[in-house]
Amino acid sequence: SWLKISIFSTRSPSQRVSWCKVEVTVESPKVITVLVSEEKMVHPPAVVTAINLKTIVNEKQNISEIVSASVLCFHNAKIDVPMPAPERKRSGILSHFTVVRNPGGTGYPIGWKKEVADRNSKNSCSVLSFENSERALLNRFFLELYKLDSDVLVGHNISGFDLDVLLQRSQACKVLSSMWSKIGRLKRSFMPKLKGNTNFGFGATPGLMSCIAGRLLCDTDLCSRDLLKKVISCSLTDLSKTLLNRDRKEISPNDIPKLFQSSKTLMELIECGEIDAWLSMEIMFHLNVLPLTLQLTNISGNLWGKTLQGARAQRNEYYLLHTFHSKKYILPDKFSQRMKDIKSSKRRINHGPEDQNVDELDADLALENDPSKGSKTKKGPAYAGGLVLEPKKGLYDKYVLLLDFSSLYPSIIQEYNICFTTIPRSEDGVPRLPSSQTPGILPKLMEHLVTIRKSVKLKMEKESGLKHLELDTRQEALKRTANNMYGCLGSSHSRFYAMPLAELIALQGREILQRTVDLVQNHLNLEVIYGDTDSIMIQSGLDDIEEARAVGAKVIQEVNKKYRCLKIECDGIYKRMLLLRKKKYAAVKLEFKDGKLCEEIERKGVDMVRRDWSLLSKEIGDLCLAKILYGGSCEDVVRAIHNELIKIKEEMRRGQVAIEKYVITKALTKPPEAYTDSKSQPHVQVALRMRQRGYREGFNAKNTVPYIICYEQGGASSGSSAGIADRARHPDEVKSDDSRWLVDIDYYLAHQIYPVVSRLCAEIQGTSPESIEADQPVILLHPSCLLQAMKKDTKTVSRWH
């Protein structure tokens, strides 16, 4: 939004505290008003700059030193609407710059000076420069950054790496504060504490964030992890491939010194930095990060910069603060856990334990510190959550109806008027539902969100192009805000922590689901085969889709007439469905899109959707699934699967399977050194070894680590005598030394393929009793037989190229 500042005084250049072009002083915040957005008012274009550093590792001190720094600047980005690639190309103004220095200090390759001069003259401005020290590089870099005056800094893992390195090196190289503080908009004299323990060893510390005051930070690594939950790896290389379909060249820090030997290779290094900056910016635009976070921020009234860093809980907090404040409520102060401890002990000393207030406070504290309640330690759940029905496992080949309550928890808050203002604080147990009919703040706020979202969606349908995209972003943000509320009520760190409310909401959810099941089974005489939290699946027993839809419509009608706000809907119809376990199923789903019936395979929870299985097992799993879901008779399916297994086994033995397919991926939840049981975790072992070899990027907390289970040729620890973790190798290790490390095919057969296939097939035989008579196929898929097919084989060993 635009701000209107009515009374202000300007400052002389010498008095300025910032690097901004204009600086004014106001007497009171009251002279600043937010202008109500009007249709014609356009948002100012933003200057977005992507940053990428290339670094080498100083082994002695175990730190990263900068050899090259690239910036790529997009001068007129729109912040309110998505900018698809064609739009960016049409209206974009791009500029780029790289500064480089030779880490060996041995000068530059022959012809380099001319090469640089040619480049600069060709672009008719300075796009490339070289310096003789890291300090000079940093000075030049900050100067270029200052000239751009960016609103947004973008980078892949910029908050965890580039920003930290820039400031650490500035400190180490004694770069003047008048230079390094140009990375932000505020003039600084002293470097803040860069290291802090408030960020869990991850992301930018408060000190770092204070350095870029006045600019927004968009870390595409963090953003993509937040927005793309299902993506296997959020490394720049993998995202470039999945999102942009571009191959990225990776350069290991160890190889960088070599690249300074010729002009050609040095230019490649520089281009790599510029391309990385570009990729990061492309990912930002692709994910629509700026418009989405802007919308979320406009709804909640928190800081945009915080939204960019995730901060879901804070968004919720600010939204509630604004709402309660506007209704003239006074809210309690927020205390950190530490503050609570201090206050509590002080009061105890001052007033003695008999003080009633203290008892209350202590009770709160005791509740939070009690591990059995799980509020503080992440041990166990603090209260009961959603209801999951026991699945009636099997393969269903008649239409199955999938019904679910839309936005169950937000609707429950409205339906039962659940709020801080309607439910009295009670000592223990789940509180009772309020009898009051006067809507509380929370229900009203939910209704408000629903109403706005409806109107936005309505408006959206009438618009097209960019306006349509903007409104779509907004309605998505409104939904997220509503769904966020329940989770934050149950979070002990939240300012509005209210476990009794969260507990009550969840309890209502369980009862609603159970009531729905009872209604469907007992009164409508239909069979519910599964359900989870807010959904039920009904076996229609029908072959005709129109009849099935009619049954669905009837159920929806019967359920919905029992509620005021709650609404059950048909989310789809399954033509064929394999129900394996709780939270694990797959189906051929039918959906109506633009009036046309679409068919697609939906997979939930099965091994193939998990990142901790190799591509090999996932592909075989999908193959089997397709046979099961599209296949004909039971014996045909079983035989087809069996043949596939034999085929793939032969291909593996012959070395015809690409090595990439053996890669297993696991995420580090903490820095690799922090694991106490590292010796039993393959990915941790791999990360530790790679870090020791100088690879820093990609082996930190929250990174995903790829590995292959191998055995060492001629090694003493043959086969399974060594632990799995010891035999895990990074794909690069296997590729670079393929005579030493061989893929352990037996491991993959027994531990990657067999379990996946056998789980998928477990229900096949039981489902169609009539086909059991043809006992041959059943034998083929019997576990012992599968194992036979997978495991026992001639002990041939193949090499991988």
Partner DNA sequence: TCCGGGAGCGC
Partner DNA sequence: AGGCGCTCCCGGA
CB of 537 to DNA, least distance (A): 9
Determine the residue type at 707: Y
Among the listed ranges 257-265, 558-566, 652-660, 673-681, the one in contact with DNA (CB under 7 A) is 673-681
Q: Kindly state the number of chain residues that form the binding site for DNA, as judged by CB under 7 A.
A: 67
Query: Closest CB to DNA among 386 and 439?
Result: 386
Q: Are 164 and 183 in contact (CB under 8 A)?
A: no
CB of 488 to DNA, least distance (A): 5
CB of 535 to DNA, least distance (A): 5
Which H helix or E strand runs over 459?
helix 441-462
296 lines the binding site for DNA (CB under 7 A): no
Among the listed ranges 32-40, 55-63, 597-605, 628-636, the one in contact with DNA (CB under 7 A) is 597-605
Query: Contacting DNA (CB under 7 A), which of 580, 710, 753, 761?
Result: 580
Q: Are 58 and 93 in contact (CB under 8 A)?
A: no
Residues listed for the chain: 801
582 lines the binding site for DNA (CB under 7 A): yes
The Cα–Cα gap between 24 and 8 comes to 6
CB of 725 to DNA, least distance (A): 6
Query: Contacting DNA (CB under 7 A), which of 456, 616, 668, 764?
Result: 668
CB of 670 to DNA, least distance (A): 7
Query: Contacting DNA (CB under 7 A), which of 201, 207, 214, 310?
Result: 310
314 lines the binding site for DNA (CB under 7 A): yes
704 lines the binding site for DNA (CB under 7 A): yes
Query: Contacting DNA (CB under 7 A), which of 667, 688, 772, 787?
Result: 667
Query: Contacting DNA (CB under 7 A), which of 33, 133, 680, 717?
Result: 680
What long-range pairs does 593-598 form, CB within 8 A, spacing at least 24? none
Residue keyed to tokens 């296939």: 757
Residue keyed to tokens 């009550």: 504
Query: Closest CB to DNA among 131 and 571?
Result: 571
Going through 35-116 in order, the beta strands assigned E by DSSP cover 46-58, 63-77, 94-101
How many other CB atoms sit within 10 Å of the CB of residue 161? Answer: 21
44 lines the binding site for DNA (CB under 7 A): no
258: tokens are 């070599």
How many other CB atoms sit within 10 Å of the CB of residue 362? Answer: 16
Site string for DNA, 520-539 (x = CB under 7 A): ------------xxxx----
The Cα–Cα gap between 52 and 236 comes to 11
490 lines the binding site for DNA (CB under 7 A): yes
Query: Closest CB to DNA among 70 and 665?
Result: 665
201 lines the binding site for DNA (CB under 7 A): no
The Cα–Cα gap between 551 and 520 comes to 11
Rg (Cα) of the chain, in Å, rounded?
30
Site residues for DNA, 748-777, by CB under 7 A, read 751, 755, 759
151 lines the binding site for DNA (CB under 7 A): no
Query: Contacting DNA (CB under 7 A), which of 293, 614, 665, 700?
Result: 665
Residue 798's nearest CA partner among 732, 746, 727 is 746
Site string for DNA, 105-124 (x = CB under 7 A): --------------------
Among the listed ranges 257-265, 431-439, 538-546, 666-674, the one in contact with DNA (CB under 7 A) is 666-674
Task: State the burial class of residue 155 (Cβ atoms within 10 Å of its Cβ: 0-12, 13-18, 19+).
Answer: buried
Residue 482's nearest CA partner among 526, 443, 514 is 443
The Cα–Cα gap between 394 and 248 comes to 44
The Cα–Cα gap between 726 and 719 comes to 11
666 lines the binding site for DNA (CB under 7 A): yes
Which H helix or E strand runs over 574?
strand 568-581
Among the listed ranges 5-13, 621-629, 634-642, 664-672, the one in contact with DNA (CB under 7 A) is 664-672
The Cα–Cα gap between 597 and 595 comes to 7
Task: State the burial class of residue 754 (Cβ atoms within 10 Å of its Cβ: 0-12, 13-18, 19+).
Answer: buried
The Cα–Cα gap between 469 and 456 comes to 11
Site residues for DNA, 718-747, by CB under 7 A, read 723-725
Q: How far is CA 643 from the centre of its chain?
A: 38
693 lines the binding site for DNA (CB under 7 A): no
CB of 213 to DNA, least distance (A): 18
Query: Closest CB to DNA among 236 and 482?
Result: 482
193 lines the binding site for DNA (CB under 7 A): no
CB of 612 to DNA, least distance (A): 4
Query: Contacting DNA (CB under 7 A), which of 64, 240, 309, 703?
Result: 309
Site residues for DNA, 222-241, by CB under 7 A, read 230, 232
Which H helix or E strand runs over 502?
helix 499-518
Among the listed ranges 6-14, 80-88, 382-390, 454-462, the one in contact with DNA (CB under 7 A) is 382-390
Q: What DSSP assignment string belongs to 412-433?
A: HHHHTT--TTTS---SSSPPPP
CB of 663 to DNA, least distance (A): 13
Query: Closest CB to DNA among 390 and 775?
Result: 390
Query: Contacting DNA (CB under 7 A), which of 215, 584, 589, 627?
Result: 584
CB of 381 to DNA, least distance (A): 4
Q: Are 73 and 94 in contact (CB under 8 A)?
A: yes
Query: Closest CB to DNA among 109 and 682?
Result: 682
CB of 413 to DNA, least distance (A): 13
Site residues for DNA, 319-358, by CB under 7 A, read 336-337
Q: How far is CA 398 from the centre of its chain?
A: 36
Query: Closest CB to DNA among 434 and 531?
Result: 531
Query: Closest CB to DNA among 220 and 309?
Result: 309
The Cα–Cα gap between 301 and 286 comes to 25
CB of 505 to DNA, least distance (A): 11
669 lines the binding site for DNA (CB under 7 A): yes
Task: State the burial class of residue 6 (Cβ atoms within 10 Å of its Cβ: 0-12, 13-18, 19+).
Answer: exposed
CB neighbour list of residue 242: distance below 8 Å, 6 or more residues apart: 231
The dihedral over CA atoms of 122, 125, 130, 135, expressed in degrees to the nearest 10, equals -170
Burial 465-504 (b: 16+ CB within 10 A, else e): ebebbbbbbbbbbbbbbbebbbebbbbeebbbbbbbbbbb
- The residues of the shown chain that bind DNA, judged by CB under 7 A, are 230, 232, 309-314, 336-337, 374, 379, 381-386, 388, 404, 483-484, 486-488, 490-494, 502, 506, 532-535, 580-584, 603-605, 609-612, 665-670, 675-677, 679-681, 704, 723-725, 751, 755, 759
